[in-house]
Structures are given as C-alpha cells and as structure tokens.
C-alpha cells in the first residue's frame, strides 16, 4: 500500500474527529455569546431576572383566580427565550409556540419564532406589553393586542 494514502487516511480520521468535537463546541460558544447571562456587556434588569421561570395563567387584572387543577396555560422565560403551552383538562396540547424576547424598562416585546399548526399564523409576529412582577405574580398588559393577563409563578 502506498504510504501517502495511509498518511492521508490517518489525517482524514484525525480531521474528522477534530471537526466532530469542534463543531458542537463552536455551536455552544455561539449560543452562549447570544445569551444575556454570558455576555459581558449585558446586565439584566431586576425585572428581567424576576421574570425567569415558569408561570401559570390565573386570569386578567380584573378577575384573578387560582391555577387550574388540570390543563391550563404555562409560560416559560429563560432570559432570552420564551415558550407558551396550553393543554386541555385531559392533557392534550391545544397550542404551543415561542421565540425570543427583549425587555426595555417595563416594556416587553416577544417575537414568535416557532408554533404548532394551531397557532402557526403567529410565526414572525412581535407582540408588545407593559409588564411587572410583584412577588409571585406577573402581569402583562397588551400594547395594541388583547393579551392582558395575570400569571402566578408555578410551584
């Protein structure tokens, strides 16, 4: 066997292994660079920090109830990404969508990046809200939209 072919084969294996390791690491680095918690120039506000977590819909500002025993709507915030899922009483998902968000003072803007079929018409849309977190209660008031809601931190 030609020795140059042997060397090339070994080099190809080493190169493939290096790429297999480097590609996921590069992806993680890129994702972390976008994450406000890892960017040096980003200092999240107290409101942004308080928002992180899981919330369950309990009503509107004029009619607040208790979280449902089964089913219901959950909203999750991570610091940059959000998602919302609603299930009926049997546990079947009614809708699920999410995307990215930004907070500036008390104004919150969420952009839908993905959705299941029942809410797919929302992909690409951005909704704005005035928001506040008071202890275990999160209130969002829709700005030019109907989504004025009160949420309680999920336990």
Question: Structural domain boundaries of the chain?
Answer: 1-34, 46-153
Radius of gyration of the chain (CA): 22
Averaged pLDDT, 120-144: 97
Which one is predicted more confidently, 24 or 49? 49
d(CA 81, CA 113): 10
Residue 76 host element (H or E) = strand 72-77
| pLDDT band at 44; cut points 50, 70, 90 | confident
CATH number of 46-153: 2.40.128.280
Q: What digits encode the pLDDT tens for the residues 82-103?
A: 999 999 999 999 999 999 999 9
The pTM of this model reads 0.71
Task: Evaluate if residue 40 carries a pLDDT over 50.
Answer: no
List, as one string, the DSSP characters of 143-154.
Answer: ESSS--EEEEE-
Q: For residue 79, give the DSSP letter.
A: S
Output the pLDDT for position 155: 87
Q: Is residue 94 a contact partner of residue 88, using CB atoms and an 8 Å limit?
A: yes
């Amino acid at each position: 066997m030609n020795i140059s072919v042997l060397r090339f084969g070994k080099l190809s294996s080493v190169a493939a292994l290096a790429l297999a390791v480097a590609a996921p690491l590069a992806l993680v680095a890129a994702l972390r660079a976008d994450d406000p918690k890892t960017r040096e120039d980003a200092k999240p506000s107290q409101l942004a920090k308080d928002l992180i977590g899981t919330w369950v819909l309990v009503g509107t500002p004029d009619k607040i109830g208790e979280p449902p025993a089964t089913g219901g709507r959950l909203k999750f915030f991570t610091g940059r990404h959000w998602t919302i899922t609603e299930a009926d009483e049997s546990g079947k998902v009614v809708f699920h969508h999410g995307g990215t968000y930004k907070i500036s003072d008390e104004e919150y803007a969420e952009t839908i990046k993905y959705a299941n079929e029942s809410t797919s018409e929302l992909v690409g849309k951005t909704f704005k809200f005035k928001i506040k977190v008071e202890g275990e209660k999160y209130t969002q008031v829709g700005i030019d939209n109907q989504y004025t809601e009160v949420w309680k931190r999920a336990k």
